[in-house]
Structure 1
Amino acid sequence: MKKYKHFMKFSTTRLAPTPSGYLHIGNVVNFLTTAALARKMDAKILLRIDDLDLSRKRPEYVKDIFNTLTFLGIPYDEGPADPLDFEQNWSQHRRLEMYQEAFESLKINNLVFACQCSRKQVSLASKNGRYPGTCRNKSLDNNRVCNWRFRIEAFTSTKVNPIAGTVESLQLSKRMQDFVVWKKDGLPAYQLASLMDDLHFDVDLIVRGKDLSRSTAAQLLLAKALKRPSFLNAHFHHHSLILTPENKKLSKSAGSISIHYMRSIGLEPEDVYRQVSVLMGLEKVVTNFGEFLEVYSFRK
């Protein structure tokens, strides 16, 4: 572990699953990467479950998060102890006032605008899926069924220094032009909620898959707009994804690679770790978190 000593130390990182399906091997790779970096860099690990999407949240999926972490011995230092503790004390729905205050700040400063366009309407109006700005200059403030979009005046790129000491260029995709920050159901969208949660819990090391690098760019823009320098100074590591044989991102709908399914057919934790070892290309096969921690080294 000595080779990590030259990195600055961090205070807090987080595991941030969503209870929208059973966790799969890709989620486990993210958890293990996050936990290993935290232990090597003396950072605290927070368990933060993102449950704003009530249409996809299920009690069995919340329970599965705790079952998976316990089954694989993946540690965390702060957060809910069990599903009941989560619902009573840690659910995102307990922090709605905080999200609302951030949204009101964006409104006051004219950084958001109301939009009536559905996804279908956007796709019909734009060949590349980029929001065409249909509602930018409309006065829809009193329409309660609107989404609210973050007003982006120009295509923006942001450079962040990842934990490896390199420089990564982060850009918004064309599809994220004027992205939604507040939904018509009265709840914050992912980008705003995730940013405010990381600020609330003083997270300064954020570990994500490379597919979420554009979300990092979006959240950096929001942090700048909200004048939240601590997030701007946070460090980000976007790790490689575990893909299907068809070279596609793993999905929670693919039950055969869920940890829940693996347990149901009698696989043990060491069997899962062996699969992780192969998928991540580790220098040797590991069978538990302690062995993973010893073997893991920074990988782009």
Structure 2
Amino acid sequence: MTVRTRFAPSPTGFLHIGGARTALFSWAYARRHGGSFILRIEDTDVARSTPEAVQAIIDGMQWLGLAHDEGPFYQMQRMYRYKEVIQQMLEVGTAYHCYMPSEELDQLREAQRARGEKPRYDGRWRPSLANEAGKALPTPPSGVQPVVRFRNPLDGVVAWDDLVKGRIEFANEELDDFIIARADGTPTYNFCVVVDDRDMEITHVIRGDDHVNNTPRQINLLRALGAAVPEYAHLSMILGDDGQKLSKRHGAVSVMQYDEDGYLPEAVLNYLARLGWSHGDEEVFGMEQFVQWFDLDHITASAAQFNTEKLNWLNAHYLKLADPQRLAAEATRRLAAQGVAVAGGPEMAKLVALYRDRAGNLNELADAVHPFHVAPKPTEELRAQHFTEAALKGLRLLHQRLSACNWQAAELGQAVKQSAAESGLKMPQLAIPLRVALLGLPQSPSIDAVLEVLGRERVLARLAAVLPAEAD
């Protein structure tokens, strides 16, 4: 058997973190078994589906690097196929027309609730079969367009061995003859999913446990169509840091928001992989290793809890490992969004190499290198605190020495030390004012490295800008 999994989001909003985890697990399972991963866009909710949401889903998948093997397939482009299958079911008797007006159905359910019964369609338009109690059908009311209902089995159970949750059973008598096509002819969600899964030969359905109640209906439909029933794995929900249902304040935002917030996709993927799945005590691993390890046996059946601190730790870890040229491109993109041009400035790859161990995300990295491209304006408070008469004397001496200095870190560091000694200052008493003059900040990486990457012209110009004019 060739493994075939699918990710089937509805484009009624962005791709959120829960959907991304589902996509990752489906993708990894297919990769682990040499199978195919299919992307299907379930866009039959015309009122809520938007092209922008479709693009947001595709962008999120691309950013994460979860490439699909087939698709994307759009359900709205398969309407002909659903109507074809519905007609076949009507012809063989596994589906039937129901003329019950919606007002009558509402009254039925209200009466059932009043009697303490579960509200459900009572099958009054269901044609009799040999093994069913026969009764005459009412005369179709004029002017009522019928819906199409699935003839669900009346007895027995529908059961499956869920690959995450274990054995699950539903009594068929609890499942009414649900609608598979509305009065206007449009097919319903559960029906479209079943036809797609059959036609696309899906072998494993990995999805959120909010779909558990849909599964028995879908299994009965698949069996009525003579189709193979895939294996199901229902993933438990994700809770926020505080143990409450995941919301926007916890991280239930668009996957692309993580890009905007400065996260690396490999950090997000590594974190998602550990969100409800484990391989021993392993915390940090790439996607190649994850695919080799991934199975459904080690997915926890209990809710996973989002931990922002752990995600941030992973992101900082991956920043330290990332290629400087890649980080340079990311920092450049973020500075450009702020209107900062870096062309002709200090070499960005060297800058990010200086700061990536100090940054937790790409935005912090871009902020850190910002002063290298835009001349700082030290605050009055910093000037008063650090530009003392003694410090300015040392900075003037350093300016003279740097004018003739070889522009290499070792020699630049020696120039700072000599200027401090000759000015009667300890090293920090000169190095901190120097940082304020060059970057507008009292802290930075090693001052000799800062001087080297900033460049002679900028260093001398920024020092000159803070030194008072000498008297004639």
TM-score, normalised with respect to structure 2: 0.52
How far has the Cα of 1:197 moved from its partner? 0.8
Rounded Cα–Cα distance in structure 1 between residues aligned with 2:252 and 2:123: 42
- Contact residue 150 and residue 179 of structure 2 kept, 8 A: yes
Corresponding residue of 1:151: 151
Cα shift readout 1:28-57 (whole Å, capped 9, x = no counterpart): 111111111111222211111111111111
Cα shift readout 1:116-171 (whole Å, capped 9, x = no counterpart): 2268656534436531427535444875644332233525522334558x962342
Rounded Cα–Cα distance in structure 2 between residues aligned with 1:93 and 1:36: 27
Q: Structure 1 239/51 Cα, relative in aligned 2: closer, same or farther at 3 Å?
A: same
How far has the Cα of 1:258 moved from its partner? 2.5
Rounded Cα–Cα distance in structure 1 between residues aligned with 2:23 and 2:171: 25
- Contact residue 38 and residue 69 of structure 2 kept, 8 A: yes
Cα shift readout 1:65-107 (whole Å, capped 9, x = no counterpart): 1111111111321113xxxxxxxxx322222121112212232
Rounded Cα–Cα distance in structure 2 between residues aligned with 1:252 and 1:222: 36
- Seq. identity, %: 26
How far has the Cα of 1:266 moved from its partner? 3.1
How far has the Cα of 1:20 moved from its partner? 0.9
Rounded Cα–Cα distance in structure 2 between residues aligned with 1:57 and 1:40: 32
How far has the Cα of 1:58 moved from its partner? 0.7
CA RMSD of aligned residues (A): 3.3
Corresponding residue SS for 1:193: helix
Structure 2, gaps ≥5 residues long: 126-136, 302-472
Cα shift readout 1:246-278 (whole Å, capped 9, x = no counterpart): 654x57999843313333333331442354255
Query: Structure 1 residue aligned with 2:84, among 87, 101, 111?
Result: 101
The answer on 1:112 being equivalent to 2:112 is no
Rounded Cα–Cα distance in structure 2 between residues aligned with 1:141 and 1:108: 22
How far has the Cα of 1:199 moved from its partner? 1.4
The answer on 1:42 being equivalent to 2:38 is no
Corresponding residue of 2:170: 171
Cα shift readout 1:175-207 (whole Å, capped 9, x = no counterpart): 852222112332110111111111111222222
Corresponding residue of 1:296: 294
Corresponding residue SS for 2:217: helix
Rounded Cα–Cα distance in structure 2 between residues aligned with 1:263 and 1:181: 40
Corresponding residue of 2:276: 280
TM-score, normalised with respect to structure 1: 0.77
The answer on 1:267 being equivalent to 2:251 is no
Corresponding residue SS for 2:71: coil
The answer on 1:133 being equivalent to 2:117 is no
How far has the Cα of 1:238 moved from its partner? 2.2
Corresponding residue SS for 1:206: strand
Corresponding residue SS for 2:239: coil
Question: Which letter maps to 1:59?
Answer: P
Question: Which letter maps to 1:103?
Answer: I
- Contact residue 270 and residue 284 of structure 2 kept, 8 A: yes
Rounded Cα–Cα distance in structure 2 between residues aligned with 1:209 and 1:132: 27
Relative contact order (alpha carbons < 8 A, sep ≥ 6): 1 or 2 greater? 1
Structure 1, gaps ≥5 residues long: 1-8, 81-89
Question: Which letter maps to 2:17?
Answer: I
Count, aligned residues: 278
For residues 1-300 of structure 1, what are the structure 2 equivalents within 5 Å?
9-80=1-72, 90-110=73-93, 111-114=95-98, 115-117=100-102, 124-127=110-113, 130-133=119-122, 135-136=124-125, 137-140=137-140, 145-154=145-154, 156-162=156-162, 168-171=167-170, 176-226=175-225, 228-229=226-227, 231-232=228-229, 234-244=230-240, 245=242, 247-248=244-245, 256-273=252-269, 275-277=271-273, 279-280=275-276, 282=278, 283-286=281-284, 289-298=287-296, 299=299, 300=301
